[in-house]
Amino acid sequence: MSTNGSFSHIDEQGGVRMVDVGSKPESTRQAVAATTVQLAPTTFALLRDQALPKGDVLTTAQVAGIMAAKQTAQLIPMCHPLPLSQIDIQFELDQDTAKIYIEALAATTAPTGVEMEALVAAQIAALTIYDMCKAVQKDIVIADTRLIYKSGGRSGTYDVRD
């Protein structure tokens, strides 16, 4: 909802609209999204050892996440195209649980935030892992996608990492 009590993406006739951010000041903004990919222990070992049939899964997933973040405005109708200054995808492999933890950071200096770019990057990295592992496992689970950090803009900092 906007500050006047109406929905920001709905016009006076009830149709959808892209919010005008033209009068908002630019600020430095960052967002970090996270998600988890649960593999079977045997699939996890193949991924860790770079022994899957489709090749280097994590490098491919990293590139896919970066490419996806840059396409967010083409995928999500009400997102503004943003000049991204940084996109970073990091993986943490937990051998005990056979999980891959993914964090995606997106940054810009713009009048609107980069949360959607970070979320899209994390999800596409996870889906790429799924795609590259599906030949050996069908029941891969992608879970717990969420925004864990954002800074900049009027609403300030949001951080659940503490």
Domains and CATH numbers, the chain: 27-150 (3.30.70.640)
* Residue scoring higher pLDDT (104 or 153): 104
- pLDDT of 20 reads 65
Place 12 in a pLDDT band, splitting at 50, 70 and 90. confident
Lowest-pLDDT range, 7-16, 52-61, 66-75? 7-16
Side chain identity at 135, as an amino acid letter? A
Q: What is the separation of C-alpha 12 from the centre of its chain, rounded to a whole number of angstroms?
A: 32
HSE (side-chain half, CA atoms, 13 Å) at 59: 6
pLDDT surpassing 60 at residue 3? no
Instruction: Give SS3 for 27.
Output: strand
Distance CA 49, CA 119 (A): 27
- Residues 102 and 126: beta-carbon distance below 8 Å: yes
> What global pTM score does this model have?
0.88
Distance CA 135, CA 66 (A): 24
Just list the catalytic residues.
Answer: 131
